[in-house]
């Protein structure tokens, strides 16, 4: 089963913050986050490998709650360049890979 | 430049006419994978390959075939395409899963329309 992401879509003004959640009905052993701009390929943002881990890149960070089988992506002081669709991904078995349902983010000037 | 190259980028064809979408990577990655992307469904894995001559089914393998005869190439074959295979397809590669911090690198996508 695909991880479920929420919200499905969000519209922000530049400078506002957003949180995107990724929840799985199965155990999560690692969580990957990707961003896909319209008409382009997904681009890797970060991987979280264990529960409690938090990572950040510039003003985008993420957390991983292994017990709750959930990960959250935090976008702080959003910029126009943050617009796109965000996907979480996980490896339910050694080599299979499953992406979440996606969250469309639009940042307005 | 490290990259995953897919061809063609766009293809319109008719039901039943066999087609192949090629994928090549220049990063010496062991793992390669095909996904299809449909509105509201996100990215779904079709097939993946752990190494040369080793492939396995993803979540939506019906109607597709793959082969991995060389490490760098992983073509996707539609033997008898049908309209429900109209989609945006992505090839991706990475170092072996299970190795920490191994992101997938995606090709630019192939938009396939089957009439």
Full pLDDT tens readout for chain A, 109 residues:
789 999 999 999 999 999 999 998 887 778 899 999 988 999 999 888 776 666 667 788 999 887 888 999 999 999 999 999 999 998 766 678 889 999 999 999 9
Contacts of B1 (CB under 8 A, 6+ apart): none
Tell me the chain B residues in contact with residue A48 when contact means C-beta distances shorter than 8 Å. Answer: none
Tell me the chain B residues in contact with residue A94 when contact means C-beta distances shorter than 8 Å. Answer: 97-98
pLDDT at B98 > cutoff 60: no
User: What is the pLDDT, as a whole number, of residue A55?
Assistant: 67
Cβ atoms of B78 and B11 within 8 Å: the answer is: no
B38 and A CB contact within 8 Å: no
B97/A91 CB distance under 8 A: yes
Tell me the chain B residues in contact with residue A44 when contact means C-beta distances shorter than 8 Å. Answer: 103-105
- Tokens encoding B61: 């393998």
């Amino acid at each position: 089963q695909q991880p479920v992401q929420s919200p499905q879509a969000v519209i922000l003004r530049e400078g506002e913050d957003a949180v995107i959640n990724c929840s799985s009905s199965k155990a999560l052993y690692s969580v990957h986050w990707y961003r896909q701009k319209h008409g382009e390929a997904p681009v890797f943002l970060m991987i979280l490998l264990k529960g409690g881990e938090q990572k950040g890149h510039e003003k985008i960070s993420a957390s991983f709650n292994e017990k709750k089988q959930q990960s959250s992506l935090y976008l702080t002081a959003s910029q126009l360049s943050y617009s796109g669709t965000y996907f979480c991904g996980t490896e339910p078995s050694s080599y299979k890979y499953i992406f979440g349902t996606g969250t469309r983010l639009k940042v307005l000037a | 430049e490290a990259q995953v190259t897919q061809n063609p980028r766009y293809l319109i064809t008719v039901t039943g006419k066999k087609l192949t979408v090629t994928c090549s990577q220049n990063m010496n990655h062991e793992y390669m994978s095909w996904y299809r992307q449909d509105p509201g469904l996100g990215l779904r894995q079709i097939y993946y390959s752990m190494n040369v001559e080793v492939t396995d089914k993803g979540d939506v393998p019906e109607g597709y075939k793959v082969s991995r005869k060389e490490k760098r190439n992983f073509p996707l074959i539609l033997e008898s395409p049908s309209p429900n295979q109209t989609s945006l397809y992505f090839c991706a590669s990475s170092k072996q899963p299970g190795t920490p911090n191994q992101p997938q690198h995606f090709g630019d996508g192939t938009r396939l329309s089957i009439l």
